[in-house]
Amino acid sequence: MEMKGKYLVTIILLVGTLSVGMCSNGWISAHATYYGVNDSPASLGGACGYDNPYHAGFGAHTAALSGALFRSGESCGGCYQVRCDYRADPKWCLRGAAVTVTATNFCPSNNNGGWCNLPRHHFDMSMPAFFRIARRGNEGIVPVFYRRVGCRRRGGVRFTMRGQGNFNMVILSNIGASGAVKAVAVRGSRGKTWLQMTRNWGANWQSSGDLRGKRLSFRVTLLDGKTMTFVNVVPSTWWFGQTFSSGGQFH
């Protein structure tokens, strides 16, 4: 039987839509696993570039996202509330329990029909986060619901300087509100114009100018559209590897 191209495309799109269910109250169905890291904060980071999520202000409740959610690093720093689907799996799900996790890593697809393959929505959670919603003894996969929520952070936005020589990058962390960064611009103390930065990878933003020896101001725009300007948040004596905290925070 011959099938017209436009009808074939429509069917494919419908199949992709049906693979992710949305409840009437805004929760989206997905699945979750956990990776076996409990005590070492340095090993909880990953594809976003946060060397240590504790240092970044995120704590132990973090997650690696499947490609449908990670979106090439766009979701880095964002917060998701996750609850186990007790009705679907009463054996392993804790009734009424929920946890908020921060996106810090990427769960890659594989060739074996893995849970992180497109178009599936999947959370590979840290062990402390996973066992806030699931019973201990479960080493498999649980059905969950999730929704995007605002991030609540203590202290100011953190700017960690990276790079070498005249190659400058900055990684932003501990960001409130949506938590995920859409755009960054930088201005040196001896400059009059803002230089638009580009995402190098994950939460690392790159500048095309030489910023050494200058006080630095940043203009940050989040995915939810909120914009803040952090004036002279980095002193002229900065060096690679140092982290500086702002006096202001997104809410």
Last residue of a domain, one of 149, 170, 185: 149
Quick: pLDDT tens for 186-211. Answer: 999 988 899 999 999 999 999 988 89
Last residue of a domain, one of 115, 149, 183: 149
Last residue of a domain, one of 149, 170, 190: 149
- In this prediction, residues 80-99 reach a mean pLDDT of 97
pLDDT bracket for residue 7 (50, 70, 90): very low
CATH number at residue 214: 2.60.40.760
Burial class (CB in 10 A: 0-12, 13-18, 19+), 108: middle
- In this prediction, residues 121-144 reach a mean pLDDT of 92
Query: Does residue 18 fall inside a structural domain?
Result: no
43 and 141: one domain? yes
185 and 101: one domain? no
**Rounded distance between C-alpha atoms, residue 97 and residue 74, angstroms:** 28
Indicate the pTM of the whole model. 0.86
**Token pair 């997104």: residue:** 250
Whether the predicted pLDDT of 1 surpasses 90:
no
**Rounded distance between C-alpha atoms, residue 251 and residue 228, angstroms:** 11
Quick: pLDDT tens for 25-62. Answer: 789 999 999 986 554 444 555 899 997 888 888 988 99
CATH number at residue 107: 2.40.40.10
Query: Does residue 55 fall inside a structural domain?
Result: yes
How, if at all, do strands 243-245 and 195-196 pair? Answer: unpaired
Q: In total, how many domains does the chain have?
A: 2
**Rounded distance between C-alpha atoms, residue 60 and residue 195, angstroms:** 34
pLDDT bracket for residue 111 (50, 70, 90): low
192 and 122: one domain? no
144 and 162: one domain? no
141 and 34: one domain? yes
Sheet holding 198-201, edge to edge: 198-201, 204-207, 167-173, 158-164, 243-245
Query: Does residue 8 fall inside a structural domain?
Result: no
99 and 121: one domain? yes
- In this prediction, residues 95-112 reach a mean pLDDT of 90
Residue of 28, 26, 21, 31 whose CA lies nearest to 143: 31
Query: Does residue 1 fall inside a structural domain?
Result: no
Query: Does residue 106 fall inside a structural domain?
Result: yes
Domain that holds residue 235: 158-245
Query: Does residue 51 fall inside a structural domain?
Result: yes
Query: Does residue 187 fall inside a structural domain?
Result: yes
